[in-house]
Structure 1
Amino acid sequence: MNQTARRIGRSLALVLPVVLVLSGTLAVSSVPWAGQRSDTQLLTASAENVPARTAKPLAPQDVLRERLLAELEREDPGVALTHLQRAVEDRPSLAKHCMSIARELGAAAVRVYGPTEAQSYSRPVCDTSFAGGVASAS
């Protein structure tokens, strides 16, 4: 009995890998993309499925802008301005975008909170650009 089991095991050890390789090769060759479409069709089909956001990564200042605008709506403009100031201190390369981001935060604060309340959050972050955004949106 022990000899028979050993013989069966050896036979399976030799035959099973061959069967797996052949079945895998047959499965891959029967898939529709295995040479039955042209390359341009494949590129077009794959490009249609990619969302626009993942096609082009956002610049760091755009990521910061979106995060702060969402934060302004969730919490208040003061929190967003504080985080803008910290982000510019942590990454000085963002300083050249600070005024435009603060201006957009001011305009968004007017839309969310109204001009009077939005102006109450004004402080000297990025040369008072927040106040400029509030004034231009009022």
Structure 2
Amino acid sequence: MSLVRRCSRTACGRPAVATLTYVYADSTAVLGPLATYAEPHCYDLCAEHSERLTAPRGWEVVRLSDGSAPSRPSGDDLEALANAVREAARPPERAAGAWGSARTESGKGPGKGGPATGETRRGHLRVLRSPDS
């Protein structure tokens, strides 16, 4: 069950569509797309209240639109991410072999697994090699 966030304005129960944040140091009110998470110092506004928003005298209102940004990652974005993960998981070339001198207490290569299992581990990432490679 997904919980719908409501407008922060008093007595308004409409669903929120935008998030308002005040930047006091710059005397700026920033109104943008609905934030992923409710933050304690931000205000969620419905469509009507976000359109009618005014700021105190001397303040600037910055309206960030999300119409130009894709709502989901594109195929190119996902491919670039996959390539970056593959590159990060590639073991560095060393004279001592792919596993080099890095050993764990068990005597296997870095992390769990090792060359026998076809698993490479680097930091928190783990790449499983396909059987045909």
Fold in common (TM above 0.5): no
- Range of TM-score over shorter length: under 0.3
Q: Which has the higher strand share?
A: 2
Higher helix share: 1
- TM-score, length basis structure 2: 0.23
Instruction: Name the TM-score, length of structure 1 as normaliser.
Output: 0.23
Task: State which structure, 1 or 2, has the greater radius of gyration over its C-alpha atoms.
Answer: 1
